[in-house]
Structure 1
Amino acid sequence: MSEDRSLSDFPGKTGESDETEEAGEPSEREESAEVPEVDESAGETEVEPARATYDWTPSGAACARCESTVEKRWRDEDGMVCADCKEW
């Protein structure tokens, strides 16, 4: 089995050879790799947290619309609802 190699050991899609990398010198790709600066004036956008779209409760849970106890519920406008109340 061959030894593990880093992705940087392989030439890029631009057709550059990796002769300088083999000689121990950093390639141009490594020297120019910079992290882009964040524009402070743009501000941060508010991100809505992820919410579950499905819930399975083995002991059962109440449907938000009809209040019947069911094991499987799906997210709808009213909250977590049973399959009969879900608008598919």
Structure 2
Amino acid sequence: MPEDRSLDDFAGASASEEADEATTEGDEVEVVDDAEAEAVAADEADTAADDTEDADRDEAIAGSEADDSETVEPPSITATWVTDGVACERCDAAVERRWVCDGDYVCADCKDW
């Protein structure tokens, strides 16, 4: 069985070794420490997540705009209330509360329950 090896053997030379080699060859190499590399990766992940959230929000807005194009009928009135009282349209009784029944505003006694 072969001898145990470290991960560094598989990962290749460290960043500082690469920089030293590149300097001797005349190439420019940006040396990035692990903390900086992690910060850059985290920023890229955040940007990707933000882009996904923005796309989801845009799709939701587009969907709601499509729903707005449909005509929605407003709710109908089913009852009214007047503190000083008002006459029932069927029996002329003075009441505070009237309900809509067949297009008329009527008292509780005249309402078809």
Per the normalisation by structure 1, the TM-score is 0.52
Identical amino acids, percent of aligned pairs: 44
d(CA) in 1 for partners of 2:48, 2:112: 59
TM-score between both structures, scaled by the size of structure 2 = 0.43
Distance 1:64 1:26 in 2: 65
Write out the 4+ residue segments of structure 1 that deviate beyond 3 Å after TM superposition.
Answer: 36-39
Structure 2 runs not aligned, ≥5 long: 1-41
State the SS of the aligned residue for 1:30: helix
Q: CA RMSD in A?
A: 3.0
Alignment of 1:4-83 (within 5 A): 23-27=45-49, 29-33=52-56, 34=59, 35-36=62-63, 38=66, 44-45=70-71, 47-83=72-108
Quick check: which has more Rg, 1 or 2? 2
C-alpha distance 38-78 of structure 1, shift in aligned 2 (>3 A): closer
For structure 1, the residue ranges without an aligned partner over 5 or more in a row are: 1-19
More strand by share: 1
Q: How far apart are the structure 1 equivalents of 2:54 and 2:81?
A: 52
CA separation in 2, counterparts of 1:49 and 1:61? Answer: 26
